[in-house]
Structure 1
């Protein structure tokens, strides 16, 4: 475990654990919650890259950020990662953003190795199951907590050549629905977000941002900072009107 620290962390708030952090959505979600005063833990396989992200977010947001290595396909790795994280305090928010890379659309079903298929399900769905089991008991004790699963258009529609990703995301959506129905009455908000489109770099990282119609391919991409704002909205929803599932897409999405 490693991390960067800033002077502005709010100890009255719990910890936000973002599992599956890369340079786009995961990092934006972590930055958003850090900006709102939470202590943040970012988890992924590449600890070196995570440490860079942690230092960057801590410096920019004056918040405390921990980088923790995790292999979501390995139950032992998940357990050890959360043992360290739970020792730091109460995990108020779990965002599961990890998934295995999808196969090429040209990949035929008969060419997919069963080992590859099982590994994809282990990362996308079984890992989410293990992570949820780590945080739910304390959430139930406190009658408070948010769990958000990142889905995709593949959560709803299977496509040829997308067996690994689509099957994993279908199962993840079912897990989200089951958990919501069991734990919502205990004060835990479980939500599933359908990301219907490709996520590009944050608009803030671009030198100029004008009319989306003039941006070529980038105009079709979703801004990870905007998506992160939607995750924050889910967490802050009034208990009298919780969303179990929302879908997000660019305004230029073609139906």
Structure 2
């Protein structure tokens, strides 16, 4: 069984909850981070996880979160994002800034803190850990009336590419996962005429685990996941 820590940042009741359950089942000691930890109390009990309140766009809170984690950090997954929709000319600059801070700047803060932690670990021979970013198709193409989300996801993807080129040779696996489609989170389901037209969060989580288990002779730095009926 694995005894290192698996940190999931931006935990809710969808993909991040599926990741927490899977990592727990695989023997990782799970650490869950969210702005409002009261909403994940049931998941905490289910997985025996350590829970840390954190605004991932706040440098001091990110460092405090990392300081709370004892032992070896094997996995870090960054899930938070924020979007504002609307015509470009009507966008609220404060909301645009928030979108970039949560989606892009938070990715940098958590990615940097996780990389520092992993580089301090003395297991380079087998890999020092994995840092995964949950992306979206908005990081590949900017959609109309969704400029803030595109800005944040393009920046996140660029960060992941830069980190992968720098950190792969140092034993840290970095990857950006393009979630190209809607996730079947609790309370959301496909129309009867379109079965399996949304991504199953448990299946996404299994793909994350497959990334983490890759031998370093064949690491993936980007992965796209989409339902079989999704147009692209």
- TM value normalised by structure 2: 0.91
The equivalent position to 1:78 in structure 2, one of 51, 62, 84, is 62
Q: Do residues 98 (structure 1) and 80 (structure 2) align?
A: yes
Match of 1:48 in 2: 38
Match of 1:231 in 2: 208
Distance in 2, matches of 1:46 and 1:219, equals: 31
Distance in 2, matches of 1:40 and 1:30, equals: 7
Task: Give 1:76 deviation, angstroms.
Answer: 1.7
Distance in 2, matches of 1:216 and 1:42, equals: 36
| Contact 2:10-2:34 within 8 A present in 1 as well | yes
Question: Number of residue pairs matched?
Answer: 226
SS in 2 for 1:151: strand
| Contact 1:15-1:93 within 8 A present in 2 as well | yes
Distance in 1, matches of 2:88 and 2:79, equals: 26
Q: CA RMSD in A?
A: 1.9
The equivalent position to 2:196 in structure 1, one of 216, 219, 239, is 219
Task: Give 1:217 deviation, angstroms.
Answer: 4.8
Q: Do residues 114 (structure 1) and 96 (structure 2) align?
A: no
- TM value normalised by structure 1: 0.84
| Contact 1:18-1:30 within 8 A present in 2 as well | yes
Show structure 1 runs of 4+ deviating over 2 A: 214-219
C-alpha distance after superposition, 1:5-26 (max 9, x if no partner): xxxxx5x521000011111101
Structure 1, gaps ≥5 residues long: 1-9, 59-63, 207-211
Task: Give 1:103 deviation, angstroms.
Answer: 2.3
